Structures are given as structure tokens and as C-alpha cells.
Chains A and B, each alone.
Chain A
Amino acid sequence: MSAPGSSGTAAAAQAPARHLTPGQRRWRRFRAHRAAMASAVLLGLIALAALGAPLAEAAFGHDPYAVDLFARYAAPSAAHPLGTDELGRDVLLRLLYGARVSLAVGLAAALTAALLGTLIGLLAAWHGGLIDAALMRLADIMLSLPLLPLLIVLAAIDPAKLGLPREAAAFDLVRIIVIIAAFGWVTVARLARAAALSLIRRDFVRAARAMGASPAHIMRTHLLANLVGPVAVATTLAVGNVILLESVLSFLGLGIHPPLPSWGNMLTNAQELIFSAPLLALWPGLAIFATVIACNFLGDGLADAFDPRADQRAG
């Protein structure tokens, strides 16, 4: 989703400041991207709220799983700040617990994809030749496949037919992370490969290679440092996309299954009641929207911060 010349909201960051380290310059550029800063704060707050869900649960004194048939569809009140759902469960608490699931899925899938992608990208760049060609063709092919139908097939697989236990409660979670990562590595792999190639061709790396430095060493010292930027950007954007994708899979009945709340299944559940209880659909929808848009802005800000051209101009 990132544009080639990244968004210009970071306008003020162009002034050269020779006495600053690259890290400091990046931080300045990032800070100048106000939307990204705000997004970072917002994401931080959401993450904190998700982590603090048990505290909120203790403070309000009710259980997000506890059914109360006498308090269905309750309006917002002091006891239930966002009201209750169709089973009389507190919507706020469920949103907070849902945030844990949705963010965990988003982060885990995006990080797994980033890791996998970096490894594959580096492997391709380092070895070149046939391995490179094969891996990059694979990446091309992955990009050209209709993603959602394949995800549907994958999400509908019966674990028992693979010899896995069907009972595992965490299976839903792990499966969704694995299948998203299986498709998500491509972007990162391309980035990693490009960054690695441009480095490998530089003299000092050639020299290091010629002097017999181990690949691992060279990768560690030089490559990874250069990779952090683009990969961080891609991963941030991916977190948002995964959260969206989880909601879509939930909508198709293939996401996280209740009673474990996720934003996706809360939204899907609520859309059936959208006429009678529109607020129930509003909250998870807004939560998804806010988180995804924040991830996108944050990614944009990071792209500005790590913009190599800005680095060159500054340095």
C-alpha cells in the first residue's frame, strides 16, 4: 500500500542536521508526521487497553463471558459503558478481550510473515542464480493468485485429516496466523532481496566476502541494519491488513469461533442484528477501522522516517 514517494505529511523534516545520528534524524522525520505520531499513540493506547482487559474486568466487576438474559441489549450505563450485547455481556469488556485476540493475530501473522519473508529474501539475494530465480518466481506466482478463495479453502481444512487433534482450542488462532503468513511473506521477501542485493554489490561487502567473512556475520552486521526500515514499514501495514482479513474470514464463518471474542467475529455477529442493535456493529467496526487506519498512518510515518532518499539528502 505504500506509495513510491511516500506521503509528504512529513514536510518539516528536510532541513539537514549534520550533527544528528541517523537514528535521531529518523526520529525527527517520524515526529514531523503528525498523523503517524497520533497513530502511534492511539495504537499504544489500544494495546495498553487490551493488556489491561483483566484490570477493567476487575474494576467493573463482571465477566465478559457471563451471560445475563435479564440484561440483553442494555443501553450504555455506568456499569456497562458501551451497553450489553444480545446475551447481556458487557460490550466494552468484550471489545477489550477481542482486541487481545485481534491484535495478537495481526501482530503474530505480520511478524511471522516478516521473518519468513526476510529469510527467503536474503536467501535469494545471497545465493542468486537458480535459487534466486525459483524463489522470486514463486513470489510472483503467489502475488498473482486470488488470495481470498485460497484462504477459504485453507481455513476450511479439517485438522483431523492432517493427523492433528481437532480439539485444540488454539487451533483457530494458529491456523489463521499460519495461513496469512504463508501468503504474506512475499512483499517482505522482495524488499529484503532488493535491499540485500544493493548492499551485496557495494565494495565493502564484496571485500568482506572475499576475505572470507561468514555469510551470517555479513548479514548480521550490514544487511539487517539496512533491512529494518523497509521491513518495519511493511510489517506495520501488514498488521492492519491482517486485522481486516480476520474480520473478512469471520464474516465468511471461517475466522475465530465464539465464545472467544475477536473484533471480526463480534462484527460479524452484530451485522445480523444491524437493524435492531446498530450500536453492536458500530463498536467493533470502529475498533477495526481505527486500528487499521492507525497502522496505515504509522506505516506511512515509518516510511518517511526510513526514506533512504531523505537519508541521502540529510547525510
Chain B
Amino acid sequence: MTRFLLGRVVQAAATLALLSFLVFALIGLMPGDPIDVMVAGDPRLTSEDAARLRALYGLDRPLVERYLAWAGGALSGDFGYSRLFARPAASALWPALLNTLRLLSVALALALCCGIALGILAARRARSRTDYAINLAAFAGISLPAFWLGLLLIILFAVTLGWLPAGGAPPPDQGGAAAMLRHMLLPVATLCVAHIAAYARYMRGAMLEVLEETYIRTARAKGCSTRRVLLAHALPNAAMPVITLAALDLGTLFSGALITETIFAWPGMGKLIYEAIMGNDYNLALLALLLAAAVTLAANILADIAQALLDPRVRLGEAAEP
């Protein structure tokens, strides 16, 4: 177990190191450099100004050299300054990360609850009208372009009905938790529709599979009520893979957050990553991307451990061979 964990952690670290170089190189391949971005925004900047600024920001040095300098700093905990926000990259990132986690945790919890509930409902009434309806809704959910859905939700709930704010984090000292919740409702809904759908379908499948297993049949034969069989026996076994799936899904959620945050003007990581990449802010983009990847990698490892602890059939250390 320890050896396995150690292996995974080493692997995750290597992945992050590789990813950091890759991203650094890729941003280097983007058109122009940060100073070009500045020049495009200020026609008064002359080419001498550009040269001066380039030297000041160290952009006149070759890419590899800059990467090594960055990596050296990063290893000692110094992730450099964000060029865009003129602050240490970490401190620019922190509030955005909190905002995104707020959004993601609620979305993930909601998606899991709804997905599992719908999945059970569908499995219990397999091949009934309810099942078909849930199935259809699930398919619809995974087939919607997220930004389109977000916009439709804004138009319906914020503009036409006026029930909810159209976006943004709540303004300062206004309403506390209730206001926060109201502001989060639409982005969370947009973010989790596709995931509810996916989990519901997965849950239904897992449930049907479990229901066919011997011990459930035994329980049934012993005269347990259907409800009891479903909730006490089948659910824990079927829910586990769904929760594992959800952990593996964190990366996708981060991606979804980017779109949702843009549409709802939510000041989170997704938007920050996008701005940092587009604004050629190496330090911030790298840190944000690495963090997103690190969270996902950590979730993967945790999912593996959880699976191992809960399911004796899975032995750690052996790659999942069929």
C-alpha cells in the first residue's frame, strides 16, 4: 500500500513537472509575447519602449532559460509575479481558487445526489415510462452546449422571470450566505446538468448490475422490501463506482467551470486560466494549470485508495487489468 502510494505520488509529481514545461513551451508558441499584448493596447508605445519592457520582463532571454529560472523559483515556493495583476501569482490565484471551489463543491455534491437518486429511480422502474423519461432527460443533458444552456437559463430566470441574479458574485456586504446562494444557483445548475445526466446513467447501469448479483437475490428471497433492498444493500455497492467516477471527473468539472464562469461573470479559476493564457501571463497560467492538474491527480489517487479500501477485489499495485 505504502509503496503503491509512493509510486503514485512520484508519478504525479513527474507529470506536473512535465506538464509545466509543456505549458511553458506552448505559451511560448502562442502569437506574440506579453509586450506585444501591451503594444496592441497602447498605440503610444514605440518599438524602443517595447524593447525596454521586454528586457525588463526578462522576455529577451531564450525560452528554456526562462523556464529553468521559473522552475528553480517554483521548487523553492516562489511562483513569480503575475504580469497581469502585478502581484505574486499565488496571491492572484487564491481568491479565484476559493470561488471556483465554492462553485465546484456545490455542483459536484448536487450532481452526485441528483444523479444517484435519478439513477436509482430509473433502475427501480427499469423499462418503465419513468426510466425512459430519465434516460431521455439524461441524454438531453449531456448533449447541450453549456454556454447556450447558461444563456437560456439567464434569459429565463433572470431576465424574464426576474427570480435570480443574472451573474456575478454578490456585491460586497449584501445579504451574506443567502445572497451567495442565489448568485450560485444558475451557474451551479449550468455546471451540473451534464454531470447529473452522466451520473444518472452510470448509476442506473451499476444498480441494475448489482441487483442481479446473488446476495441481492438472497435478500429479496428472504422477504426484504424492495425499498430496503435498494437502499440498504444495492445502493452502497452501486454508488461506489459512481463516486469514484466523480473523483475522476474533477478535471472535466474544471473545464466546465471555464465556460460557466465566463457566461456568469463568476470570478473563478476557469476564467482566470483563460485570461492568463490569453494575456500571456506565464507565471499565473502555469500555476493555475498545475494546480488544476494537481487537484485532479490527487483526486485520482484518493479515488484509487477509496476503491481499494471498499472493494477487496481490487488490489492496489496492479494496474487495472481486466
Contacts and interface: CB of A to CB of B under 8 A. Distances in A.
B208 A5 contact: yes
A313 interface: no
B30 A145 contact: no
B143 to A, nearest CB: 4
A288 B145 contact: yes
Interface stretch (A43-51, A81-89, A154-162): A154-162
A5 B147 CA distance: 31
Contacts of B201: 1, 3, 7
B322 A194 contact: yes
A3 B127 contact: no
B259 interface: yes
Contacts of A148: 254-256, 258-259, 270
Contacts of A248: 145-147, 259
A40 B289 CA distance: 39
A5 B205 contact: yes
B53 interface: no
Interface string A136-159: 110011011111111011101110
A133 B251 contact: no
Interface stretch (A65-73, A204-212, A213-221, A289-297): A289-297
A197 B135 contact: no
B219 interface: no
Contacts of A252: 259, 262, 274
B145 A267 contact: yes
A77 interface: no
Nearest to B131: A8
A165 B143 CA distance: 36
Residues of B in contact with A, size category: 35 or more
B31 A158 contact: yes
B164 to A, nearest CB: 18
Contacts of A271: 147-148, 151
Interface string A285-307: 10011001100110010000000
A274 B297 CA distance: 39
Contacts of B321: 197
A32 to B, nearest CB: 12
Interface in B239-254: 241, 248, 251-252, 254
A144 B293 contact: yes
Nearest to B197: A1
Given A248-B145, A288-B145, A144 B204 contact: no
Interface in B127-177: 127, 131-132, 135-136, 139-140, 142-148, 151, 155
B69 interface: no
Contact of A153 (B30, B148, B322): B30
A274 B155 contact: yes
Q: For B143, B201, B297, which residue has the most chain A Cβ atoms within 10 angstroms?
A: B143
B305 interface: no
A5 B206 contact: yes
Interface residues of A, number: 54
Contact of A154 (B26, B143, B258): B26
Contact of A146 (B15, B251, B259): B251
B110 interface: no
Interface in B269-296: 270, 273-274, 277-278, 285, 288-289, 292-293, 296
B205 A149 contact: no
B145 A156 contact: no
A4 interface: yes
Interface in A107-159: 133, 136-137, 140-141, 143-150, 152-154, 156-158
Interface string B202-233: 10111011000000000000000000000000
A161 B31 contact: yes
A147 B251 contact: yes
A176 interface: no
A198 interface: yes
A275 B28 CA distance: 39
Nearest to A268: B147
A7 B135 contact: yes
A27 interface: no
B319 A296 contact: no
A64 interface: no
Contact of B198 (A1, A8, A147, A153): A1
Interface in A1-45: 1, 3-9, 11, 35
Contacts of A96: none
A281 interface: yes
A42 to B, nearest CB: 12
B292 A149 contact: yes
Contacts of B296: 144-146
B322 A197 contact: yes
Contacts of B132: 9
Nearest to A274: B151
Given A8-B127, A153-B277, A251 B259 contact: yes
8 contacts: A1-B201, A3-B201, A11-B127, A143-B300, A153-B26, A198-B322, A240-B143, A267-B145
The 9 closest A-B pairs by CB, nearest first: A3-B205, A148-B255, A158-B31, A292-B143, A293-B143, A5-B205, A146-B292, A146-B254, A4-B205
Given A5-B204, A141-B15, 10 more contacts: A4-B241, A145-B296, A146-B289, A146-B293, A152-B273, A248-B145, A267-B145, A271-B151, A285-B145, A289-B140
